[in-house]
Structure 1
Amino acid sequence: MSRGRVGVLVPPANPAAEPELARLLGSRADMHVSRFPVRPGYSLAERLEMYNAALPDMIRSFGGLRLDALVMACSGSRYLIGPEQDRYRCEELSKEFGVPFASATLATWEAFEHVGTHDFILVSPYQPWLTELAERFWAEAGLSVTKVVPVFAKGRTSPYDVTPAELVRQVEEADLPHDAVVLFSGTGMATLPALGSLGTGNDRILLTSNLCSAWWALSQATGQPLTLSRVPHRRAAQRQHS
């Protein structure tokens, strides 16, 4: 089977999306990356809005490179616009550029539909206002956030700086049900190293923004439906099987 090509759009300082997606895509697809422009002097909300506005130009930055799927590795920017606008804009970009396109949030929404769940626990490294927007986003998508677990980096809100050890400790302290569905939101927070510990000895379904993005992209790039299964997370998160 030939390898697919997946394009990934990444915020400029995101440290986790590329290594995690490369690991998750594995030998089935090559990854090609373009980073959003640096926008100094703007607030986080303003930068997130700029990411949404820049999408057509970002897709054009791949030039004539043939891609089988394209993913926007950013969740926060889509929490600003809501799920229906997110889906609509992704569909329009797919049509305009002739390549399947999804944001991390749309890929996650489709992953929830795939596993057949409506209730989940949200693990959020965001500032409180963005966490509130995330809750609203998923409620408008017909899903129910039953609990929010905020996570911090050395006591402060900084998604890119949360270590796997900090993530594991804070989630374990939240004492989640053994059969919970858990979403770790944010493509810039390192999550894969934490899933082994958090998924051992229980029946939880652990989803992450990067895991869902890779699952969606591989389904598009290979033309084969992939299953998000319940196998132990120590064998590479929730493995994606054909």
Structure 2
Amino acid sequence: MGVDFSGPEARAALGVVAPFDMELDAELLRWLPDDVDMLMTRTPFVDDVVTVEFAREVADEGVVADGVRSVTAGRAEVVAYACTSGSFVRGRAGQESLLGVMRGAGAGEAVTTSGAIVEALQALGVRRVAVATPYVPTLSHLLDSFLGEYGVSVTGHDGLGLEQRIWEVPYAATAALIRSVDSSEAEAIVVSCTNLPTYDLIAPLEAELGKPIITANQATMWAALRRLGRRPTAPGQALADH
């Protein structure tokens, strides 16, 4: 019997533009269905720790546009900018301007992490959230303001105060942070930063706390895959059903 050389079959492609220090490519891939490829590029190196100024630099519109062009040179029509702070640091107007820049650079559909978090909350019908971040306070509280611009109120907030190496935060520390911000007033918990590992925490903590947990990487992949007509691979995670 001869070898079948009729393949490979056409596959969908998701483009991702991430900051140069992104360490969690493997976590993003865990949400990816088997029939979708992830085409990823990084922004240029910035010699700074994670501060408000850092977030502004990695989200420079020209830099993001270059990243979009590099992933849309091939098959990627849906592109995600995978950085929470970079997409909320200039508020709602900045996030929406970034989407326009991404479309202008060739993205048929554009998503930012902060915009995806808002989209996820809207899909779940959530208006009151607790917020957990790994950032320093000056950066961290800009997320509260950003959510407020979309009609989402913050019932409680806590952060780890980190300026670097956020990807090294252990699950136990993140779980403790999530539990510390939860309250009866919060309808869901938002966990910021695409460099903070969360995949294995979401389903068990949702079961424990009885409410959705929306994390940066989860929301980014959910919103981007939604535009491809796909569902994320996310057993037990509440957002995956919406």
- TM-score of Structure 1 vs Structure 2, range by shorter chain: 0.7 to 0.9
> Could you tell me which amino acid in structure 2 is paired with residue 237 of structure 1?
Q
> Could you tell me which amino acid in structure 1 is paired with residue 39 of structure 2?
H
Who wins on radius of gyration, i.e. which is larger? 2
Change (3 A) 1:150 1:65: same
Query: 107, 110, 131: which is aligned to 1:101?
Result: 110
Query: Could you say which residue in structure 2 is the equivalent of 1:198?
Result: 205
Change (3 A) 1:85 1:23: same
Does the 8 Å CA contact 1:152/1:166 hold for their aligned counterparts? Answer: no
> Which stretches of structure 1, 4 residues or more, deviate above 6 A after TM superposition?
none
Distance 2:196 2:49 in 1: 21
Gaps of 5+ in 1: 228-232
1:131, distance to aligned residue in structure 2 (A): 1.0
CA-to-aligned-CA distance 1:159-189 (integer Å, 9 cap, x gap): 3221111111333345544973011111110
Matched, 1:182 2:186: no
Does the 8 Å CA contact 2:130/2:188 hold for their aligned counterparts? Answer: yes
SS at match of 2:228: helix
Query: Could you say which residue in structure 2 is the equivalent of 1:230?
Result: none
Gaps of 5+ in 2: 1-8
Matched, 1:112 2:121: yes
Distance 2:80 2:205 in 1: 26
CA-to-aligned-CA distance 1:94-151 (integer Å, 9 cap, x gap): 2441421111011111111111111101011110001111111111221101111323
Change (3 A) 1:236 1:159: farther
1:65, distance to aligned residue in structure 2 (A): 0.7
TM-score, normalised to structure 2's length?
0.84
Query: 4, 12, 23: which is aligned to 2:20?
Result: 12
Alignment of structure 1 residues 48-127 onto 2, 5 Å: 48-53=55-60, 54-62=63-71, 64-127=73-136
1:197, distance to aligned residue in structure 2 (A): 3.3
SS at match of 1:27: coil
Change (3 A) 1:137 1:50: same
Distance 2:129 2:185 in 1: 12
> Could you tell me which amino acid in structure 2 is paired with residue 110 of structure 1?
E
1:88, distance to aligned residue in structure 2 (A): 3.3
Does the 8 Å CA contact 2:156/2:182 hold for their aligned counterparts? Answer: no
Distance 1:37 1:189 in 2: 20
Query: Could you say which residue in structure 2 is the equivalent of 1:238?
Result: 238
Query: Could you say which residue in structure 2 is the equivalent of 1:141?
Result: 150
> Could you tell me which amino acid in structure 2 is paired with residue 182 of structure 1?
I
Query: 144, 149, 166: which is aligned to 1:159?
Result: 166
**Aligned-pair identity (%):** 20
TM-score, normalised to structure 1's length?
0.84
SS at match of 1:32: strand
The alignment of Structure 1 onto Structure 2 pairs a total of residues equal to: 232
Distance 1:209 1:74 in 2: 8
Change (3 A) 1:46 1:136: same
CA-to-aligned-CA distance 1:167-218 (integer Å, 9 cap, x gap): 1133334554497301111111001122243122442111111111111111
Distance 2:72 2:16 in 1: 14
Distance 1:157 1:51 in 2: 14
Distance 1:110 1:35 in 2: 24
